[in-house]
Structure 1
Amino acid sequence: MSDFSALCCKLLLGFCVFYSTNIKAADFVGTKQCISCHQNQFSAWQGSDHEMSMNHATDEYVLGNFEDASFVFRGKENRFFKKGEQFWVNIAGPDGKFNDYQIKYTFAYHPLQQYMVEFDDGRVQLIPFAWDSRKQEEGGQRWFDLYPDQTETHQEFYWTNTGQNWNYMCSDCHSTNVAKNFNAKSNTYKTTFSDINVGCESCHGPGSNHITWTKQKSIKKAHAGFERELSKAVSHWRLEANKATLTAESINPSQQTLVCAQCHSRRVQISEKDHVKGNNFGERYLLSRINNPLYYPDGQIYDETFVYGSFLQSKMERNGVVCSNCHDPHSTKLIMPKEQLCLQCHQSDTYAQKTHHQHLDNSAGAQCVNCHMPETTYMQVDERADHGWHIPRPDIAKQLGTPDTCLSCHEDKNSEWSSKKVEQWFPQSSTRAERHFSRVFSAADQGYANVASALSHIAQNEANSNIIRASALDRLAPFPDNNTIIAVARGAKHSDSNIRLGAISGSAALNGAERWRVIAPLLKDEVLAVRAQAALAIVPLWFELSEDNKNYLTPALNEYMQIQDFNADRGYAHNNQGNVFVYQANYQAAEKAYKTGMKIEPYFANSYTNLAELYRRQQQNNQSIEVLKAGQKASPENASIDYQLGLAYIRAKQTSLAVDNLKQAAIKAPNNAQYHYVYALSIESINSNEAQQSLNKAYQVGGNPQHLYALCELQIRLNSFQANQCINELSQVVPENVVQQLKSTLQQRQSVIQN
Structure 2
Amino acid sequence: MKFNQLVTIICITMLSFCYHKRAYSADYVGVEQCVDCHQQEYNDWKTSHHNMSMRHASVESVLGDFNNATLAVNEQTHRFFKKGTDYWVNTKGPDGKFHDYQISYTFGYEPLQQYMVKFPDGRVQLIPLAWDSRDKSKGGQVWFHLYPYMEVHDEFFWTNNGQNWNYMCADCHSTNVNKNYDSKTNTYDTTWSEINVACEACHGPASDHIKWSKQPIEQNSNMGFNRNLAPKVGSWEFNKGKKILKPKQLSDSDQLNTCGQCHSRRAQLNNNHDHLKSDFFDKYMLNAITPELYYPDGQIYDEVFVLGSFKQSKMHKAGVVCTDCHNPHSNKLVAPKEAICFKCHVPNEYTAAKHSQHQEGSEASLCVTCHMPKTTYMEIDPRADHSFQIPRPDISQQIGTPNVCTSCHTKETNQWAINALAKQFPNSSYQQSDHFAIAFAQAGAGIPISGDSLSYIAQNSLEANIIRASALSRMDRFPGQNAMVAIMRGIKHQDPQIRIGAIAGSAAYPFEDRWQIISPLLQDPVFAVRTETAGALVINWQNMNANQQALLTPALNEYIEIQQFNSDRGFGLMNLANIHRAKGEVKLAELTYLKAIEIEPIFATSYVNLADLYRQLGDDDKSLVLLKKGIKNQPQSATLRYSAGLNLYRQQQLKYAIDYFTQATEIEATNAQYWYVLGLAQEKINVSKAMVSISKAYDVGRNPQHLYALCEFKIKYRDPTTQACLDRLAKIVPPQVIKQLTGG
Q: TM-score range by the shorter chain?
A: over 0.9
Cα gap change, 1:20 to 1:232, in 2 (>3 Å)? farther
* CA pair 243-563 structure 1, distance change in 2 beyond 3 A: same
CA displacement at 1:424 relative to structure 2: 2.1
Q: Tell me how far 1:364 sits from its aligned partner.
A: 3.0
SS of the equivalent of 2:212 reads helix
Match of 1:493 in 2: 492
* SS of residue in 2 equivalent to 1:679: helix
Counterpart mapping for 1:553-564 below 5 A? 553-564=552-563
Q: CA deviation at 1:452?
A: 1.9
Once the 2 structures are TM-superposed, how far is the Cα of residue 23 of structure 1 from its aligned partner? 4.3
**Deviation of the 1:623 alpha carbon:** 1.3
Task: Determine the structure 2 residue equivalent to 1:39.
Answer: 39
1:731 aligns with 2:716: no
Match of 2:91 in 1: 91
Taking the TM superposition and a 5 Å limit, the aligned residue runs for 1:389-408 are: 389-408=388-407
2:180 pairs with 1:181 = yes
| Counterparts of 2:506 and 2:723, CA distance in 1 | 41
Please tell me whether residue 424 in structure 1 is matched to residue 430 in structure 2.
no
1:126–1:164: 8 Å Cα contact kept in structure 2?
yes
Of the structure 1 ranges 484-493 and 688-697, higher mean CA displacement relative to structure 2 is found in 688-697
Letter of the 2:88 partner, please give it. W
Structure 2 gap ranges (5+): 1-16
Give, in whole Å, the separation in 2 of the partners of 1:518 and 1:263.
Answer: 33
- Whether the aligned pair in 2 keeps the contact of 1:227 and 1:277 (CA below 8 Å) is no
Mapping of 1:297-336 within 5 angstroms? Answer: 297-336=296-335
More deviation, 419-428/730-739: 730-739
SS of corresponding position for 1:719: coil
Q: What residue is the counterpart of 1:241 in the other structure?
A: 240
Q: CA deviation at 1:570?
A: 0.1
Q: 1:390-430: per-residue Cα shift (whole Å, max 9, x none)?
A: 11100001111111111221011121211121122222211
1:581 aligned residue: 580
Q: Which amino acid aligns with 2:484?
A: I
Q: Is the partner of 1:91 in helix, strand or coil?
A: strand
C-alpha distance in 1 between matches for 2:352 and 2:62: 46
CA drift of 1:218 comes to 5.3
Deviation at 1:298, TM superposition (A): 0.6
Q: State the match for 2:8 in structure 1.
A: none
Equivalent residue, structure 1, for 2:14: none
Q: Is the 8 A contact 2:182 2:188 kept in 1?
A: yes
Are the aligned partners of 2:227 and 2:277 in contact in 1 as well (CA < 8 Å)? no
Displacement of 1:729 in angstroms is 2.1
Q: Is the 8 A contact 1:257 1:323 kept in 2?
A: yes
* 2:258 matches 1:267: no
Aligned to 1:58: 58
In 2, the alpha carbon distance for the partners of 1:18 and 1:108 equals 37
Question: Is the Cα contact below 8 Å between 1:20 and 1:212 reproduced in 2?
Answer: no
1:485 touches 1:510 (CA, 8 Å); kept in 2? no
RMSD over aligned Cα, in angstroms? 1.8
Q: Counterpart amino acid of 2:713?
A: L
Deviation digits for residues 149-170 of structure 1 (CA, Å, limit 9, x no counterpart): 31x2222111101011000000
CA distance in 2, matches of 1:439, 1:461: 15
Q: Which residue of 2 aligns with 1:103?
A: 103
The answer to whether the Cα contact below 8 Å between 1:203 and 1:260 also exists between their aligned partners in 2 is: yes
CA contact (8 A) 2:394 2:432 kept: no
Aligned residue number for residue 131 of structure 2: 131
User: 1:79 corresponds to which residue?
Assistant: 79
Q: CA deviation at 1:353?
A: 4.4
Paired AA for residue 600 in structure 1: I
| Displacement after TM superposition at 1:274 (Å) | 4.7
CA distance in 1, matches of 2:506, 2:699: 30
Say if 2:275 and 2:281, in contact at 8 Å, map to a contact too.
no
Worse overlay, 693-702 or 304-313: 693-702
Query: Are the equivalent residues in 1 in contact too, given 2:695–2:707 (CA < 8 A)?
Result: yes
Determine the structure 1 residue equivalent to 2:453.
454
Q: Distance in 1 between matches of 2:521 and 2:727?
A: 49
CA distance in structure 2 between the partners assigned to 1:201 and 1:509 by the alignment: 45
- Post-superposition Cα deviations, 1:444-482, rounded to whole Å, max 9, x if no partner, equal 122111222221111111101111111111111122222
Aligned in 2, Cα 1:596/1:536: closer, same or farther, shift over 3 Å?
same
Residue ranges of structure 1 left out of the alignment (5+ in a row) = 1-16, 746-755
Letter in 2 for 1:503: A
Q: Decide whether the 8 Å contact of 2:174 with 2:195 is kept in 1.
A: yes
Tell me the SS of whatever aligns to 1:44: helix
Deviates more, 1:544-553 or 1:312-321: 544-553
2:595 maps to amino acid: T
Task: Determine helix, strand or coil for the equivalent of 1:359.
Answer: coil
3-state DSSP of counterpart to 1:235: strand
1:276–1:285 Cα change, 3 Å: closer
Alignment of 1:79-478 (within 5 A): 79-150=79-150, 152-217=151-216, 222-478=221-477
Partner of 2:714: 715
User: Separation in 2 of the partners of 1:743 and 1:563?
Assistant: 53
- Report the TM-score, using the length of structure 2 for normalisation: 0.95
Deviations 1:272-295 (A, max 9, x none): 135344341111111100111111
CA contact (8 A) 1:267 1:287 kept: yes
Structure 1 SS opposite 2:608? helix
Shift of 1:87: 0.6
Q: Which residue of 2 aligns with 1:515?
A: 514
CA offset digits 1:549-589 (Å, max 9, x no partner): 21111010000000000001000001111112222222122
Aligned 8 A contact 1:67 1:82 in 2: yes
Describe the SS at the equivalent of 2:249.
coil
User: Does the 8 Å CA contact 1:130/1:143 hold for their aligned counterparts?
Assistant: yes
2:74–2:148 contact (8 Å) kept in structure 1: no
CA shift, 1:492, in A, is: 1.1
The alignment partner of 2:115 has SS state of strand
Q: What is the number of equivalent residue pairs in this alignment? A: 729
Structure-1 separation of matches of 2:59 and 2:407: 39
What TM-score do the two structures reach when normalised by structure 1? Answer: 0.94
What is the alpha-carbon distance in structure 1 between the residues aligned to residue 26 and residue 507 of structure 2? Answer: 42
1:731: how far off?
2.2
Counterpart Cα distance in 1 of 2:212 and 2:674: 65
Give aligned-pair identity as a percent. 49
Contact 1:255 1:279 in 2 (8 A): no
Return the alpha-carbon distance in structure 1 between the equivalents of residues 283 and 517 of structure 2.
24
Contact kept, 8 Å, 2:61 with 2:106, in 1: the verdict is yes
Shift of 1:433: 4.7
The residue type equivalent to 1:615 in the other structure is Y
Note if 1:623 corresponds to 2:622: yes
Where does 1:513-552 land on structure 2 (aligned, <5 Å)? 513-552=512-551
Query: How far apart, CA to CA, are the structure 2 residues paired with 1:178 and 1:550?
Result: 36
Q: How far off is 1:26 after superposition? A: 6.3
Compute the displacement of 1:145 (Å): 1.1
1:438, 1:722 → 2: CA distance?
Answer: 36
CA shift, 1:140, in A, is 1.5
CA distance in 2: counterparts of 1:300 and 1:48, whole angstroms? 27
Q: Is the 8 A contact 1:473 1:503 kept in 2?
A: yes
Q: Does structure 2 retain, via aligned residues, the 8 Å contact 1:727–1:742?
A: no
Quick one: distance in 1 between partners of 2:537 and 2:221?
A: 42
Q: Do 1:535 and 1:553's aligned partners in 2 also have CA atoms closer than 8 Å?
A: yes
**Contact in 2 for aligned 1:116/1:127 (Cα 8 Å):** yes
> Which residue in 2 is equivalent to 1:705?
704
Residue deviations 1:646-688 (CA, integer Å, cap 9, x gap): 0001111222211111111111111111111111111123233
Superimposed CA distance per residue, residues 469-504 of structure 1 (whole angstroms, 9 cap, x where no aligned partner): 111111111222221221111111111111111111
1:25, distance to aligned residue in structure 2 (A): 5.2
The answer to whether the 8 A contact 1:394-1:418 is kept is yes
Spell out, residue by residue over 1:512-531, the C-alpha distance to the aligned partner (whole angstroms, 9 max, x if none).
Answer: 23322222221111111111
Preserved contact between residue 257 and residue 276 of structure 2 (Cα < 8 Å): no
How many Å apart are 1:324 and its aligned residue?
0.2
